[in-house]
Amino acid sequence: MPSSTSSFDFHRPIPALPWHGLLLTTLLLAAVGTVAWEIRARSLGYAPTLNDTPDLWSDRREAVRPDSVVIVGDSRPLFDLDLDALEQGLGSRPVQLALAGSCAYPILEELVNDERFRGTIICSVVPGMFFAPGGPLLKNSEDALKRYRTRTIAHRAGHRLGMILEEQVAFMKQEDLILARLLEKIKVPNRANSYLPPELPPYFQSVDRDRRTRMSEACARPGPLQDRIKHGWIPLFTPPPFPDYTPKEVLAGMARTTEERFGKTAALVKKLRARGGKIVFVRFPHTGELKKLEDQATPRSGIWDRVIRETGAPGIYYSDFPELAGFDCPEWSHLSAADSVEFTQRLVPRLQAALAKCP
């Protein structure tokens, strides 16, 4: 009886084609397409610069030492603080851990719970973001922390290679120019109980390996890019209403999470101070229609004053000080590259005075 298994030779015929010529043609088409896309990206205002990825954030988190000065928060300290000016004024170079479009609380919590850390934290507070009970703001911070805790050798190698390319090639903008992001820009009308998320601002900054972030010149001056970003903040800061079918217990849980964060923040400040660390909360400049919207939705007398009162930490609210209050944010939310240096130099004496009050 023949065996149920058998071996046989199978040879796939290879057609007789000019393979060398096809290879050269393919490489040529790929090169032409790459150059054309690079030219197109630069014509749209993009330039070679790093993407602010969770891996880049993780690099800076790994740079934190027990006595480091660390910046925590949203995108405003990313744009508004000049690391060179802070280093000159405070005596050590800060580690930039602020994260655009994020809730700062998880990062503050992780840093304070690191028993090795006894340094100084400069923490930005945008009330509607710092107290976000969930959603994309919280996820952005959690994604960065997850990568920091779990990244592998492969992640690190890919990140190192990616940085070399990003510093040379303009079209490598993962938040703007990959296919998934381009498809998301296709306009679909809202429907009942189904709302599209607001469009995120385009890439309008440069980022270096220290995560020092500078606003692009195209955004700093009046023009289409500045206008697009300006008017994009309003829907981002006014999310659509919850669908009618949202369970009441979900809404109650979100409210409870927000309320609990006051007590948790105060506990973190107390824990940091117990081992000799310091923290100062900062409200950075915002102007125009965005300031009107934020001040109405989250007035200073609400969240900000309560955070300062319940934590006992010093706070710097920019509008309290004439030397800090006169800056204009070109797109209502961040300072230009030039103004960020001047603002930081003026902020340093206030930081020194606030930190001197810490026990």
pLDDT, tens digit, for every residue of 265-315? 999 999 999 999 999 999 999 999 999 999 998 999 889 999 999 999 999
- How many Å apart are CA 306 and CA 225, to the nearest integer? 37
Cβ atoms of 64 and 211 closer than 8 Å: no
Whether 153 maps to a domain, the answer reads yes
Residue 42 pLDDT: 78
Instruction: Kindly state whether residue 26 falls inside one of the protein's structural domains.
Output: no
Residue 191 domain-assigned (yes or no): no
- What residues in the chain have per-residue pLDDT under 50? 1
Give me the number of domains the chain comprises: 1
DSSP string, 304-336: HHHHHHHH---EEEGGGSHHHHT---TTSSS--
Q: Does 28 fall in a domain? A: no
Distance CA 63, CA 65 (A): 6
Q: Which long-range contacts (CB under 8 A, 24 or more apart) does 223-232 make?
A: 225/45, 226/330, 226/331, 228/201, 228/202, 229/201, 229/202, 229/204, 229/331, 229/333, 230/288, 230/289, 230/290, 230/331, 230/332, 232/198, 232/199, 232/200, 232/201
Within-domain flag for 10: no
Q: Is residue 39 domain-resident? A: no
- Please report, as a single letter, which amino acid is at residue 250: V
Alpha-carbon distance of 53 to 206, in angstroms, equals 13
The answer to the question of residue 14 being in a domain is: no
Question: Which residue blocks in the chain are alpha helix, DSSP H?
Answer: 19-43, 54-62, 75-80, 83-90, 105-112, 127-130, 136-150, 153-166, 179-184, 217-220, 224-237, 248-274, 288-297, 303-311, 322-325, 337-356
Q: What's the Cα-to-Cα distance from 340 to each of 11, 54, 294, rounded to whole Å?
A: 67, 24, 21
- Identify whether 349 is part of a domain: yes
Strand, helix or coil at 96? strand
Q: Are 275 and 118 spatial neighbours (Cβ–Cβ below 8 Å)?
A: yes
* DSSP one-letter string for 187-216: ----BTTB-PPPPPP---EEE-TT--EEE-
Q: At 178, list the tokens.
A: 């990959």
Q: pLDDT tens for residues 6-15?
A: 555 667 787 8
Q: Which element (helix H / strand E) includes 69?
A: strand 69-72
Provide long-range contacts, Cβ within 8 A and 24+ apart, for 36-43.
Answer: 37/171, 38/169, 38/170, 38/171, 40/171, 41/170, 41/171, 41/173, 41/177, 42/170
CATH code (residue 168): 3.40.50
Q: Is 286 helix (H, G, I), strand (E, B) or coil?
A: coil
| Parent domain of 203 | 54-182+198-356
Q: What pLDDT is recorded for position 351? A: 96
The confidence score (pLDDT) of residue 37 equals 77
